[in-house]
Amino acid sequence: MQIDWANFTPWSAAAGGVAIGLAAGLMILLLGRIAGISGIVAGLLQPVKGDAAWRLAFVLGLVASAALLRLLGAAQTPVFDIGYGATILAGLLVGFGARLGGGCTSGHGVCGLSRLSPRSLAATAAFMTSGALTVFILRHIMG
């Protein structure tokens, strides 16, 4: 196996990890809320009075920050090797799995693990194992 050095970006990955950790920490400290994207979006789809503003600001911040990075030339255009249909299907399956598992990678993987939650450890292990197996099957067995 060869390493694709063009896509090896440890500094930007580390900076992104620090930014995510800082944002998640600030959210729990300042708002008392977990930065779990699936739960935040689910709360927008079934709003409770007085609870939608921070959720909307969070989601808009995700979209606006990505757009800003793209405008500044700091973000690459994603390449969809499998096509848009399969990408949309994959996204829907991930959303279904997050709902079924009671949370997503940001809620369990970032926030739950930092709080030493056994439930989050089990969920994150399941996410990572499923992802690794899926990539292995799709890339190495199915070609």
- Give the separation between CA 67 and CA 101, rounded to whole angstroms: 30
Give the whole-angstrom CA distance, residue 79 versus residue 9.
17
Average pLDDT of the residues in 92-120:
87
| pLDDT tens digits, one per residue of 18-66 | 999 999 999 999 989 999 888 898 889 888 888 899 999 999 999 998 8
Query: Considering the entire predicted model, what is its pTM?
Result: 0.77
Residue 1: which pLDDT band, with cuts at 50, 70 and 90? low
Q: Are the C-beta atoms of residues 37 and 107 closer than 8 Å to each other?
A: yes
Cα distances (Å, whole numbers) of residue 101 to 6, 87, 91, 114, 139:
35, 21, 15, 18, 25
What does the alpha-carbon distance between residue 74 and residue 89 come to, in Å, rounded to a whole number? 28
Q: pLDDT tens across 30-42, in order?
A: 989 999 888 898 8
Contact (CB, 8 A) for 4 and 22: no
Hey, where are the domains in the chain? 5-141
